[in-house]
Structures are given as structure tokens and as C-alpha cells.
Structure 1
Amino acid sequence: MSSIQLKGVEKWFGTAQVIKGVDLDIEEGEFIIFVGPSGCGKSTLLRMIAGLEETSRGQILIGDRDATAEPPNKRGLAMVFQSYALYPHMSVRENVGFPLKSAGLPQPDIDAKVDEAARVLKLDAYMDRRPKDLSGGQRQRVAIGRSIVRDPTAFLFDEPLSNLDAALRVEMRYEIAKLHQTLKSTMIYVTHDQVEAMTLADRIVVLEFGTIAQVGTPRELYERPANLFVAQFIGSPRMNVFPANAAPDVTAPQGAVSLGVRPEHISVVPAGTGVLNGTVDLLEYLGADTFVIMSCGEAGQITVRVNGSTDLKPGDTADLQFASDAVHAFDTKGVSLYKD
């Protein structure tokens, strides 16, 4: 287990720069998640840390060691891919133990490490099965087990749950969270799914076009987004953003050109008592919650999270009231203007 430090790392593919001078300190034992839209560079950055992509400029330090030019097999890292990459003709036991067998470890040592990985991942009952006899979640646990036995410096996960259905994703999120609690290893995880990021990460790194838009805990990113990009990327449904002059009764700091309010920080109130008036366009019923989508004149379309049993219906008119301490303000460049 070790810390990882990125110092001004860049990645160029010909004349195209995809990673643009990233600086990041990852503490020993920390669970870091890279998120961002497709093409933002999150998988490329992970592969650079793994040594699977050459670093064009900058340094990658693993512990106190400069690993920038080291090949993947010298970095002491274990990578879990989106594809399970299991050997179909081998049993679970053989798949998990294969890296150790290839390294020439004695069979008793291999058996001990494989048994411990099976215990941690609850694979004991499946050790004699072939991959074809396993569910997607079980196959992913086998792939993770193959990494665990190597006792790596850090684990790297490249969208490991993207091939699973919704129920299995929830199950595997729990498994990975428990794994981190058990092993206390450094983990770097790439996903485009903000739910995975919010529920698993100690800190989230939000990437935008090859640069870091913000680094922080899930709560920090949710409550104090640094800019419009982070504000609308973190949170589901996304934050409502509208011109500051569309809600003249809302106090905003000097220089604010747009305001942002999350759907859960808006209340539907009787006409004449709120800061915006709107007409209900659509309701999205989700059981405990309903998302009410309203047309609000100059403010455009506003989404409000209300109780699932709401009596609102399309065509109704109502006012909206914002929680006073939950309104975000942004300047002309989209930079947040925090109010003390």
C-alpha cells in the first residue's frame, strides 16, 4: 500500500493533447474516483498510472519512487478491467491463482493466498466452477480476486461494473466498498456513473477535457461545486441553472449572471408566495419521489423533487420557493461565487 502522486502529467497523441497538466496527490489507503463525461481523459489518466500509456510530460510517483518510466509489471499495481478476462478452461481457483503460478510461487503459498481472497470475496462455494457457470457479479469478483492475491501497492478499476445490470451494480458497489474497508488499500476507480462515485469515494476527481475541474469529498462537490460544470455533473437530477435576473427576489452576490438550485432544495408553494411562477409540464413518478418539471418563463424549465404522493398534475400553476442557504451563484465564466 502506498501513496501516488501526479506532477504536471500530460498525454499527447500526436498533436492532440488529452491530459493537460494534471497535479494530484492520492493518500495511502484512499479511495479515489475519476469521473467525467466520455472523452474527458479519465481512463487515459488511469492507464498512465498503470503504465499502459506512456506519460508524455510530468512525473508519476508511487510512494517515494519515480515510476514515470517503469513498465507496468514493475509498478506493483493491480488493474481490474471492464472485461473480466477470465480463462474459460480454468476453474475459479485456477483463475485466481494464475498470477502467482506464473510468478513461480510454491503451491502451498498459492493455495493460502487464493483461500484468503476467496474468503474476503465470498467465493468459497464457487472455487471449482468454470467462468461460464458464474453470474456477471461473480465473474467480476473472481477478476478482483486475481488482483488481490498479488498484494498490490494499489488497485486500479476501469469501469468494472459497466457490463452488469442495475441490480448487480448495486450489489457490486457494496462488495467493493466492503473490500476497501477490509483491505484498506489505495484504490483508484474510473466511472461515468456519479452514483458509484458518490457512494464509494473518499474523494472524487471531476475531469473536464483533460483537466481537473474539482477535487473533493462527495459532500464537498455536492454542496460547494467550484463551477457550473461540476454543479451540473454532480447530483441527479442535475442542478437547475437559470439567469440571475429571472428571479429578482433572490439575493445574489455581485457579478452573478446565473443561479443554480438543486431540485431537492425547491418547494412548491401557493401562487403569490414564491420567487418564481410556473406551469407543470410533466411529472415523473418514482415511488417515494416525484420529479415535477415546470415551465417558468425566463428561468426556463425547472425540475423540482417532491413527495411521491403529490397531487400536482400537468397544467397546474404554482409558485416555487428556494431554500435560502442552497442557492448557488456563478459569474460570466461559470465560476462559483460562494456566499459566506
Structure 2
Amino acid sequence: MGGISLRGVEKWYGDVQVIKGIDLEIADGELVVFVGPSGCGKSTLLRMIGGLEDISRGALEIDGVDMTSEPPSKRGLAMVFQSYALYPHMSVAENMGFSLKTAGVPAIEIEKQVVEAAEILHLTEYLHRRPKDLSGGQRQRVAIGRSIVRDPTAFLFDEPLSNLDAALRVGMRLEIARLHQKLDATMIYVTHDQVEAMTLADRIVVLDYGQIAQVGTPKELYEQPQTRFVAEFIGSPKMNILPCSVTGGQYHLRWGRGGKTTGHDGATHLGVRPEHITVVSSGGGQCDGRVSVVEYLGADCFLYVDAGRLGQITVRTSGDSPISAGAQISLKFDAAKLSFFGADGNAV
């Protein structure tokens, strides 16, 4: 079992509050990702759960037991950091089994658990190597294996892929997803990379200045953002946000045209994803503009359109699009895929 409950959790450094009353329930076997910009408090919150930072106010429960004041050794959690922190003079097997050895576990049991963890992580052939003989991805797998052998209540990952290059990050992301499916263990994963968040998470917790902006599945956050902050943070490229007004079932762009909508009266801004914009004949869309940059990415092209006073609008088209920089185009929005936000930044 590995259910984790946070109730009114706060963190203060003197007069500065960095975690501002977090309430969160993480179910047994769930993979939850904390995501947000630098300085939002995601790593601090993870360290509070792990016991590396004190909880100033509020309560932490693990499997229904109050662990608010318990030291890390009593919480039954395993943490994987951005730094591998492997012992260079030890082999892979010795690194993975070191925590069990210091705990007095018999050597035969240590060997059994290390071999099982190595099979899960495809490290069997590397057990006798030293860390210096491994790639970055292999070293990170050893760090994860060191956690697996402890059979923890839950795994805490603090930006574990940040030191890897792009190709290794993709490979390790798949490894972690497979590991979660195989172990069916509770995992909390911290990252600033929203692609990692979207591809790994059962649920995402978006943090903004020490508060939860929204919690939901990747699909919920992408399609139904509750705030402008979430709308612009989740998605790459980010959602286009344009000033508008809404009255009587119609929306009107401040410096463009409009269309029909249901409800949303009082909205001051409209949000539309790049893939929900279609290039149409001149004057046939909600606004017009000139293509300033075209990014070719193979299957897709991103058009960066200068829409005058509306600002820059990003459009996703197919990779075989004939549109080139300098073209004058008209943009039509998919009315069924629009989001609307009020002056306070909340969804209308």
C-alpha cells in the first residue's frame, strides 16, 4: 500500500511562505507528476513528503498513518535524485545493494533482490561494472534500482532525467513508464518538462507560486484548463490567448472578427490551441495575418503569424503545407475547441 495524503501543508522560511496550504490525495499505485515553472515549489513539496524538509503546518499521512514529524527512515519512501550519487569504487551490484547491507540484510537475500531489480531494469549484464563504465541512462537506472531493492511504500523522483541528453531522456521516460506498470507502485515525479508530465502521469498537479493551480489527468488539463496559467503552461506550443468580449451567444475578437459560442458571457480572453486553427481563404476566418516564421518538423509545420494588434498566433499545420514565410493568410478557429477566461484569469 502507498496512499499519501497532504492536508493543509505549508512551508515557511522565516517570514517567507513557499508552500501555501496544499491539500492532495494520492491513491495507492498512482503516478502523480508535480509540474510548474522554476521556483513554484514542486521540489520543496516533494522533499517535504520525503522528510528532507520539515512541514511548517499541516499534516502528512502515508497509508493512513500520520508521518508529519517522522524522519525519512521511518516513512518507507525511496527517493531518486537528479544526481545519480553512485559510489565510484563500487560495482553496480554493490551500489544497488548497499542500503540493504547497511541495514543488516543477509548477503544471499541482498543478491536475490539485486538480481530481480537488475532484470526489471535490464542491468543484468552490467552488475560487475563500475559507474564510470556506464552511460548516463544506465547510471540513472542503477540509481532507480537502488530504490527498488528497498521495496518502498512509494517512489519519489526529483527531476531524474535533467542531466541526460534528449535521446536518453526519451528512452528513460519509457523505462519509467514501464517500471510503473510492472511494479504497480505509487510514484511522485517532479519535473519542469511538461512533455514528461503529459506522457508519464496518471494525474498532473500544476503548481503556481506554492499553490495548486489545477489537478487532473493530462487530457483534462489540456482540454479543460481552469486558468490561463494552466492553459499556457500545458501544451507545446502553448495555447494562443487573445483579447475578446462575449455577449448574446457571440464572441468578438478585440481586433478581429468573431463567431458563435454557448455561454461564456463576461469573458475577456479567448484561448485556442495551434492545432484548432485552420488556414482559409482571405477574410474567411476570425482574423488575418502575415506568416513571419515557418518551423518544419517533419510531420508538422508550425506557422508563427503576425496578426497585428492581436499579436503573434501559432498555427499547427501538416508537414506538407505549401505556406511559406511572408504569406498573407486568414485563420479560422474551431468553435467547439475554444476556451474562455475572465479578467481574473479563471475559466468562464
TM range (shorter): over 0.9
The corresponding residue for 2:268 is 257
CA shift for structure 1 position 297: 2.4
Q: Tell me which amino acid in the other structure corresponds to 1:306.
A: T
Question: What pairs up with 1:72-111 in 2 under 5 angstroms?
Answer: 72-111=72-111
Q: Structure 1, residues 78-132: CA drift from partner, whole Å, max 9, x if none?
A: 0000000000000000000001000000111101100100010010000000000
Q: Does 1:278 align with 2:289?
A: yes
Q: Structure 1, residues 242-279: CA drift from partner, whole Å, max 9, x if none?
A: 11133442335211100010001101111021111111
Q: Tell me which amino acid in the other structure corresponds to 1:111.
A: E
Structure 2 distance, partners of 1:174, 1:318, is 40
Question: What pairs up with 1:151-190 in 2 under 5 angstroms?
Answer: 151-190=151-190
Q: Say whether the 8 Å CA contact 2:86–2:131 is kept in structure 1.
A: yes
Structure 1 distance, partners of 2:272, 2:295, is 19
The corresponding residue for 2:328 is 317
The corresponding residue for 2:241 is 241
Bigger drift between 263-272 and 206-215 goes to 263-272
Structure 1 distance, partners of 2:283, 2:332, is 10
Structure 2 distance, partners of 1:279, 1:171, is 39
Q: Say whether the 8 Å CA contact 2:83–2:160 is kept in structure 1.
A: yes
The corresponding residue for 1:298 is 309
Structure 1 distance, partners of 2:235, 2:242, is 17
CA shift for structure 1 position 315: 1.6
- TM-score, structure 2 as length reference: 0.96
Q: Say whether the 8 Å CA contact 2:257–2:287 is kept in structure 1.
A: no
Question: What pairs up with 1:120-199 in 2 under 5 angstroms?
Answer: 120-199=120-199
Structure 2 distance, partners of 1:242, 1:261, is 8
Q: Structure 1, residues 171-206: CA drift from partner, whole Å, max 9, x if none?
A: 000000000000000000000000000000000000
Q: Tell me which amino acid in the other structure corresponds to 2:284.
A: T
Q: Tell me which amino acid in the other structure corresponds to 2:117.
A: A
CA shift for structure 1 position 168: 0.2
Structure 2 distance, partners of 1:96, 1:23, is 34
> Aligned to 2:69, what secondary structure does the other structure show?
coil
> Aligned to 1:21, what secondary structure does the other structure show?
strand
Q: Does 1:330 align with 2:341?
A: yes
Q: Tell me which amino acid in the other structure corresponds to 1:99.
A: S
Structure 1 distance, partners of 2:280, 2:260, is 19
- TM-score, structure 1 as length reference: 0.98
CA shift for structure 1 position 26: 0.1
Structure 2 distance, partners of 1:249, 1:178, is 46
Q: Does 1:60 align with 2:60?
A: yes
Structure 1 distance, partners of 2:322, 2:70, is 62
**Aligned-residue identity in percent:** 64
> Aligned to 2:346, what secondary structure does the other structure show?
coil
Structure 1 distance, partners of 2:32, 2:2, is 13
Structure 2 distance, partners of 1:56, 1:42, is 16
> Aligned to 2:267, what secondary structure does the other structure show?
coil
> Aligned to 1:250, what secondary structure does the other structure show?
strand
Q: Tell me which amino acid in the other structure corresponds to 1:181.
A: Q
CA shift for structure 1 position 310: 1.4
Q: 4+ residue stretches of structure 1 with deviation over 6 A?
A: none
CA shift for structure 1 position 285: 1.1
> Gapped runs of 5+ residues in structure 1?
none
CA shift for structure 1 position 37: 0.1
Structure 1 distance, partners of 2:191, 2:61, is 23
> Aligned to 1:20, what secondary structure does the other structure show?
strand
RMSD, aligned CA = 0.8
Q: Tell me which amino acid in the other structure corresponds to 1:109.
A: E
Length, aligned pairs only? 337
Q: Structure 1, residues 271-313: CA drift from partner, whole Å, max 9, x if none?
A: 0211111111111111111110111123211000011121112
Q: Tell me which amino acid in the other structure corresponds to 1:164.
A: L
